[in-house]
C-alpha cells in the first residue's frame, strides 16, 4: 500500500476551506460546500470530510474531539528559524489561534503551534538556524 494522503472530519466545511486555503495557502479547487474537499500542499493530498456526510455514507455515527485538541497534529516546515517566527505572526494575524509562541527546543528545532478553527493542532517548524 502507498500513502495517498490524509483527512480531517469537519463540522463547517466553508470555514475550514477558507482557513486552509486563505490562511495556510493550501491549493483547493472544490467549492466550499461540497461533501469532501481535496487540498494539495507541496505534493501531499489532504482531504476535508464533512462529518455528517461521512456518517451518512458509512451508515454509522462516530465520536469526535471538540475544542482545541491534541488528537493529532499537522506539521508544516519552513526554511529557517526566522521563517518560523514570520509564519507564526502571519497566520495568527490572519485568524489562526495561537497555541504556542515560536520557541527553540533543546533538540534544535524552532517550533510553534496554532489551531485551525475546529481546534486541530498545526505545528510550524524548522531545524535550520539560517
Question: Which residues span the domain enclosing 54?
Answer: 5-58
pLDDT per residue of the chain (130 residues) written in tens, 0 to 9: 888 888 999 999 999 999 999 999 998 878 777 888 988 888 888 899 999 999 999 999 999 989 999 889 999 999 999 999 999 999 999 999 999 999 999 999 999 999 999 999 999 999 999 9
Other C-beta atoms closer than 10 Å to the C-beta of 118 total: 21
Give the pTM.
0.91
Nearest one of 79, 77, 73 to 115, comparing CA atoms: 73
- Whole-number Cα distances in Å, 110 to 33, 84, 104, 126: 36, 7, 4, 5
Cell of 71: 488528537
Round to whole Å and give the CA distance between 34 and 22.
17
Round to whole Å and give the CA distance between 8 and 125.
21
Do 15 and 48 belong together in one domain?
yes
Q: Are 23 and 129 in contact (CB under 8 A)?
A: no
Total count of domains within the chain:
2
Do 32 and 81 belong together in one domain?
no
- Domain assignment present for residue 84? The answer is yes
- Domain assignment present for residue 64? The answer is no
- Domain assignment present for residue 27? The answer is yes
| CATH code at position 34 | 3.10.180.10
Report pLDDT for 12.
94
Do 41 and 86 belong together in one domain?
no
Report pLDDT for 2.
83
Amino acid at each position: 500500500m502507498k500513502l495517498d494522503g490524509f483527512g480531517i472530519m469537519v463540522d463547517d466545511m466553508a470555514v475550514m476551506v477558507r482557513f486552509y486555503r486563505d490562511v495556510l495557502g493550501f491549493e483547493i479547487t472544490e467549492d466550499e460546500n461540497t461533501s469532501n474537499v481535496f487540498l494539495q500542499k507541496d505534493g501531499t493530498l489532504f482531504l476535508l470530510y464533512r462529518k455528517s456526510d461521512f456518517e451518512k455514507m458509512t451508515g454509522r455515527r462516530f465520536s469526535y474531539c471538540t475544542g482545541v485538541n491534541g488528537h493529532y497534529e499537522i506539521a508544516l516546515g519552513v526554511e529557517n528559524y526566522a521563517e518560523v517566527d514570520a509564519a507564526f505572526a502571519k497566520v495568527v494575524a490572519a485568524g489562526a489561534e495561537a497555541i504556542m509562541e515560536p520557541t527553540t527546543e533543546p533538540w534544535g528545532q524552532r517550533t510553534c503551534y496554532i489551531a485551525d478553527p475546529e481546534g486541530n493542532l498545526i505545528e510550524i517548524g524548522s531545524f535550520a538556524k539560517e
